[in-house]
Amino acid sequence: MRSDSDLQIAGDILEVPHLLQPPREHPATVAEFAGLARTVAADRAQWEHLVRYDATTRWYHRLRTGPGYEVWLLSWLPGQGTGRHDHGPSSGVLTVLEGTLTEHTHRGARALAAGAQRVFAPGYTHEVVNDTLHPAVSLHIYFPGLTEMPMHPSATCSAARAEPVHQEAGAVGG
């Protein structure tokens, strides 16, 4: 009698092209969007020279678009924040590139240090703020592209969850 653990693949799996998935030109899954965010974050030459700081409002720059998604670069001076909002029909990936941001949800506050990543579904309500004494930079990917950002009174937050995808040592939450 044979069990599943007796299954072995003979030969080199890479020599069987019909079993390999062709690489995608653009991300299509949540994991692929999170991977795109990590790739962009790691390539500082792609975004670092674009960062600006504005004392009157958060600065933002659309870094890239693809079929059905947008990549945004944002900077945050101390005290700057979003207000409580959701992203309409868009899902997203938030990645902190420099500094620390705090995400406030119905579950409380989470500090997101450089390298921390959050993935969220449509309707997820949160507020993001730089409550440190140092500037911060973040990368945001929205799919589909961001078409609305409804604001919410401070007392309400969606019960939808944001999932931590990646965090560096010392980061709280994700």
Asked whether residue 71 is domain-assigned, the answer is yes
Asked whether residue 13 is domain-assigned, the answer is no
* pLDDT of res. 147: 87
Range 91-120 average pLDDT: 96
Name the pLDDT band for 149 (thresholds 50, 70, 90). Answer: confident
Is the pLDDT at 167 greater than 60? The verdict is no
Asked whether residue 153 is domain-assigned, the answer is yes
Asked whether residue 64 is domain-assigned, the answer is yes
Is the pLDDT at 2 greater than 80? The verdict is no
Please state, for a pLDDT cut of 70, what percent of the chain lies above it.
75
Do the beta carbons of residue 104 and residue 92 sit within 8 Å? no
Name the pLDDT band for 165 (thresholds 50, 70, 90). Answer: very low
Is the pLDDT at 40 greater than 70? The verdict is yes
d(CA 143, CA 39): 17
Number of domains in the chain: 1
- Cα torsion at 57, 54, 115, 93 (round to 10°)? 40
When comparing pLDDT for 174 and 22, which is higher?
22
Range 97-110 average pLDDT: 96
Asked whether residue 86 is domain-assigned, the answer is yes
Q: Could you tell me the CATH number of the domain that includes residue 163?
A: 2.60.120.10
* pLDDT of res. 153: 85
Asked whether residue 147 is domain-assigned, the answer is yes
Residue-range definition of the domain harbouring residue 113: 59-169
Range 147-170 average pLDDT: 55
Q: Could you give the C-alpha distances from 159 to 26, 60, 173, in angstroms and in order? A: 30, 28, 16
